[in-house]
Structure 1
Amino acid sequence: MTSSQTPFLQLENIDVHYGAVQALFDVNLTMQKGEVVSVLGGNASGKSTTLKSVLGLVSPSKGRIILEGREIQGLLSPDVIDLGVASVPEGRRVFPEMSVYENLLMGAYPRRHEKEAIERDLHEVFTSFPRLAERRRQAAGTLSGGEQQMLALGRAWLRRGKLVCIDEPSMGLSPRFVDMVYQVLFRWKAAGQTILLVEQNARIALELADRAYVLQHGHVIISGTAAQLSADPAVQKAYLGAA
């Protein structure tokens, strides 16, 4: 990446308020197409609010969000999704009464006329997550938390978005399911998928990411390459369990 490249996504001096409470303070973030960028931090650090700002779920009170040269701050979430952004939300948010297969097709709805491509992508999802193939006719609400996370990822893959925004994919999962989820994310990265990842599990997020930002109380306090942050004593102490 060179400084002359126009960022694929750029947040410029973003403030976000929830009523009288300010959640983000002058946040700046950039990413290039094909990059994986992680936003790290503890509870109430502002990392999920940063993601929600990109997705149009909250509207900044100050600053600009620019996607492929277009300002998107203030757009509603459906309009952001129409621009090619896919989401894997915190808590999965699958459609509980619909089957696994129907949930996946909901992800593909914006490209519903691409029938052959959708069939190929469904095959890829079922190959990546054999449990979903076994349960394709099962109601999504009856799946375990790990299986629902697989489904949320598969649904996002069916969207074939230019950008995938992923919020806390390891939250509440057993180590085995975390490994399964991140194996797929590593494959997405290898395929060139652009990913904006919010994650409390800093160790595995930094293994996946090209670059990362650390938020604390709504402020970006550290940013750099994943290797730089992994070697930073302050990050090691606060987020990686170093003594």
Structure 2
Amino acid sequence: MLILADHITQLPASPASLLEIDAIDVHYGAVQALFGVSLRVRPGEVVAVLGGNASGKSTTLKSVLGLVKPTRGRIALDGQAVHGKPPADIIDLGLASVPEGRRVFAEMSVQENLLMGAYPRRHEKEAIAADLALVFEAFPRLAERRRQAAGTLSGGEQQMLALGRAWLRRARMVCIDEPSMGLSPRYVDAVYEVLFRWKAEGQTILLVEQNARIALELADRAYVLQHGHVVLHGSAQQLAQDPGVQKAYLGAA
């Protein structure tokens, strides 16, 4: 069922939810960026947050990661409140982040960047070596450049590296911000090939994306934000067929 914003200011608590966001407001100084945003992510689910520029998508993700602090409302992981906690403490609960702009360690090599993702599980040497091989298999360009400084990679290669770093984290939930932004179609295909693989393996993903068409192909459910408000949410299939979503985000006449 598609649900309009007036009916979702408060979503019912669900013990099956890994992430629960309840009616959060976020301000940047005097400017309010989010207005009563609520959403849920269940284990093994891919949830997309869609919207145009300045819709509040990235602010929602940053709130989950503790990079911005809600002025009202609640964020919980496995029922444990995390709003107001430092980002490092939230990440330690089993999250990984693929941020907008990639944010690789420019002076470090590709392989060193990848191993930074595995640092929380650094004692699992055999498992890390196996996962590193999987990343290089999925992204042969990274394998070719494993000793190259990450700052010398192209934008598409750096996005692959950011995904690979999250892969090595083996997180309970991966938070991904605009993975297709600024990439050529070839690199978008390579990135989403890995995301579809993660979905098939049961990886929980919270995805912020302007490319609504490909995001709705990947996602199980999605939320649409406008000017900091959730205006619509439902299954990805339902949203893809909604005339308003088609007109606003999918290029339908």
**Smaller-chain TM-score bracket:** over 0.9
Q: Secondary structure at the match of 1:45?
A: coil
1:218 corresponds in structure 2 to 228
Out of 117, 122, 135, which is 1:125 matched to? 135
- 1:35 aligned residue: 45
Query: Match for residue 97 of structure 1?
Result: 107
Which residue of structure 2 aligns with residue 196 of structure 1?
A: 206
- Percent identity, aligned pairs only, is 78
Consecutive aligned runs of 4 or more in structure 1 exceeding 6 Å deviation: none
Report SS of the residue matched to 2:162: helix
Task: Please give the per-residue CA displacement for 1:127-173, whole angstroms capped at 9, x wherever unaligned.
Answer: 00011000000000000000000000000010111000000000000
Root mean square deviation, CA, Å: 0.9
Deviation at 1:4, TM superposition (A): 6.2
Give the counterpart of 2:33 among 16, 20, 23.
Answer: 23
Q: What amino acid sits opposite 1:109 in the alignment?
A: Y
Amino acid aligned to 1:197: L
Out of 239, 243, 252, the residue aligned to residue 229 of structure 1 is 239
Tell me how far apart the structure 1 counterparts of residues 77 and 69 of structure 2 sit (CA, whole Å): 15
CA deviations 1:54-112 (Å, max 9, x no partner) are 00000000000010111100011111111110000000000001000000011011111
Q: Using the alignment, how far apart are the partners of 1:170 and 1:44 within structure 2?
A: 17
Residue 138 of structure 2 aligns with an amino acid whose one-letter code is S
Q: Does 1:71 align with 2:81?
A: yes
Unaligned runs of 5+ in 1: none
Distance in 2, Cα, partners of 1:57 & 1:134: 34
Is residue 2:169 matched to residue 1:159? yes
Superposed CA deviations along residues 182-231 of structure 1, whole A, max 9, x for unmatched, are 00000000000000000000000000000000000000001000001000
Question: What's the offset of the Cα at 1:5?
Answer: 4.8
- Residue 81 (structure 1) aligned with residue 91 (structure 2): yes
Report if aligned partners of 2:15, 2:79 keep a CA contact under 8 Å in 1.
no
TM-score (norm 1): 0.98
Q: Return the offset for 1:7.
A: 1.1
List gaps (5 residues or longer) in structure 2: 1-12
The number of residue pairs the alignment matches comes to 241
Partner AA of 1:15 in structure 2: D
Query: Structure 1 residues 4, 55: closer, same or farther in 2, change over 3 A?
Result: closer
